[in-house]
């Protein structure tokens, strides 16, 4: 017997919107059966009205950046001036305050239909760089925060060893560094996977990990078949510095040291040569686009179409959390490309939803999530079709409505492992997520 039966008024089943879909959820939190053509809810079924899609995967998050929202939108500046403001917030966090902030941020994600997050985690140590009594105290705080907020987490523990090519870490970066990649590997190896938790690896960037230590991080991930993520060609200044230091682009440098491959995801991949695109695509390295952050920081529009055509799977992330809205990230990827090319229709709504669901989960090591299929993890979210943003279109166009008109505010239900995390727009364990954000961010103000 199923643990729970859900009746979905409309469901997106990979390519089509189907009315009247029943999902049976088993005791281990998986989809036991999918039945279509069920016009009325079966007795005892939980009714989800609207469009139900697989849970969204936020493939790139820096949870503490949420404290910057609003503050870094004042005035002008560049990525590099934004970074200085970010450092001041990073200096104030403790394991306890990071837990409080991340719990609220992950609750905001659940309210936005996100069921899995890839946390690109590099804030490891105490101010000044000394390890905590538990060297993974900050990572454990993030894991606990995601668990309490009811979403899955892939902790992408990040190697961050240098302030630039061959340069020692700056004062604000001492909390980030383990000194060497070998020391990073020893620390991160103590982190344990558990229910709802994956442990992956990240290279912050080619400027932050010396070239002769890149392979150490890549080897650690390969030995564990773990996801490996890296900020890649986000800034032209980084490309120029890499060329000056190594005579090659960041993508070429990563390829030379065995970093690229199907378990690897390059985040941003904004400023790439044709040869870079070919390297990423031919190695099946993924690309995580973060359009709301990339436009907020004036980074540029990445070659997502060319990368996907070359063989790079696309995923999406909210990165700095200028907004937390994966529907907006999906929409922005298409609309950015329209502005760049002055043509429409680079991706269908279905393709954009796949980037936000199945392909995002695969990039985080959750290959068994992101679809409404028998055997998949029972992670899904329901978008209302009767709000001021979504009312009007016929139900068969609900996927187009969700991608091109809906927002996180239209999410009504989020289910993870078959259990309601968000019901009727209210988070089960963090019922006032706005106040939790307010309080945790206020506590960080100097």
Q: Are 334 and 90 in contact (CB under 8 A)?
A: no
Q: Residue written as tokens 């070239």? A: 211
Instruction: Respond yes or no: is residue 432 known to be catalytic.
Output: no
Which residue in 24, 319, 325, 379 is the catalytic one? 319
Q: Which residues pair with 158 in a beta bridge?
A: 202
Which residue in 124, 268, 321, 420 is the catalytic one? 268
How far is CA 131 from each of CA 138, 140, 167, 187, rounded to the nearest angstrom? 10, 14, 21, 10
Listing DSSP states for 193-216 in one string gives -BTTEEEEEEE--TTTS-HHHHHH
Q: How far is CA 245 from the centre of its chain?
A: 31
Nearest Cα neighbor of 416 from 148, 125, 91 is 148
User: What is residue 118's three-state secondary structure?
Assistant: strand
Q: At what angle do helices 95-111 and 137-149 cross, to 10 degrees?
A: 30
Instruction: Respond yes or no: is residue 134 known to be catalytic.
Output: no
Q: Are 244 and 236 in contact (CB under 8 A)?
A: no
Helical segments of 283-357, H only = 291-296, 304-310, 326-341, 349-356
What DSSP designation does 346 have?
S
Burial of 313 (0-12, 13-18, 19+ CB in 10 A): buried
Structure tokens at 79: 């990525």
Half-sphere exposure in the Cβ direction for 217 (13 Å, CA): 34
State in Å, rounded, how far the first CA of the chain is from the last one. Answer: 55
Q: Dihedral sign, CA of 265, 202, 108, 113? A: positive
Name the residues annotated as catalytic. Answer: 268, 319
């Amino acid at each position: 017997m199923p643990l729970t039966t859900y009746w979905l008024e409309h469901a997106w089943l990979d390519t089509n919107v189907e009315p009247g879909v029943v999902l049976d959820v088993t005791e281990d939190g998986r989809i036991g059966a999918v039945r279509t053509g069920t016009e009325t809810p079966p007795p005892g079924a939980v009714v989800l009205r609207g469009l139900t899609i697989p849970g969204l995967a936020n493939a790139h998050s820096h949870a503490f950046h949420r404290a910057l929202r609003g503050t870094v939108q004042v005035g002008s500046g560049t990525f590099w001036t934004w970074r200085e403001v970010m450092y001041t917030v990073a200096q104030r966090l403790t394991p306890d305050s990071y837990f409080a902030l991340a719990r609220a941020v992950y609750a905001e994600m659940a309210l936005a239909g996100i069921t899995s997050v890839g946390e690109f985690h590099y804030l490891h140590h105490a101010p000044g760089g000394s390890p905590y009594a538990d060297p993974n105290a900050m990572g454990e705080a993030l894991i606990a925060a995601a668990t309490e907020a009811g979403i899955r987490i892939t902790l992408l523990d990040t190697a961050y060893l240098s302030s630039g090519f061959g340069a020692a870490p700056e004062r604000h970066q001492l909390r980030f560094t383990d000194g060497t990649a070998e020391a990073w590997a020893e620390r991160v190896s103590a982190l344990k996977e558990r229910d709802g938790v994956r442990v992956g690896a990240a290279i912050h960037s080619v400027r932050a990990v010396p070239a002769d230590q890149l392979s150490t991080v890549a080897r650690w991930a390969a030995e564990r078949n773990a996801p490996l993520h890296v900020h890649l060609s986000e800034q032209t200044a980084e490309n120029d510095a890499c060329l000056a230091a190594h005579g090659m682009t960041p993508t070429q440098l990563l390829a030379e040291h065995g970093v690229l491959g199907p378990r690897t995801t390059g985040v941003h991949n904004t400023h790439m040569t044709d040869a870079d695109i070919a390297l990423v695509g031919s190695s099946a390295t993924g690309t995580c686009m973060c359009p709301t952050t990339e436009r907020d920081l004036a980074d540029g529009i990445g070659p997502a179409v060319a990368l996907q055509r070359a063989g790079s799977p696309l995923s999406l992330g909210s990165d700095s959390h200028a907004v937390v809205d994966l529907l907006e990230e999906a929409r922005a990827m298409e609309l950015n490309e329209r502005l760049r090319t002055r043509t429409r229709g680079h991706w269908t709504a279905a393709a954009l939803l796949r980037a936000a669901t199945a392909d995002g989960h695969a990039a985080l090591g959750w290959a068994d999530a992101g679809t409404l299929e028998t055997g998949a993890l029972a992670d899904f979210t329901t978008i209302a079709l009767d709000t001021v943003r979504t009312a009007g279109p016929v139900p068969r166009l609900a996927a187009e409505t969700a991608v091109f008109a809906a927002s996180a505010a239209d999410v009504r239900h989020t289910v993870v492992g078959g259990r309601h995390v968000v019901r009727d727009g209210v988070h089960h364990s963090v019922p006032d997520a706005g106040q939790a954000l307010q309080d945790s961010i206020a506590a960080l103000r100097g």
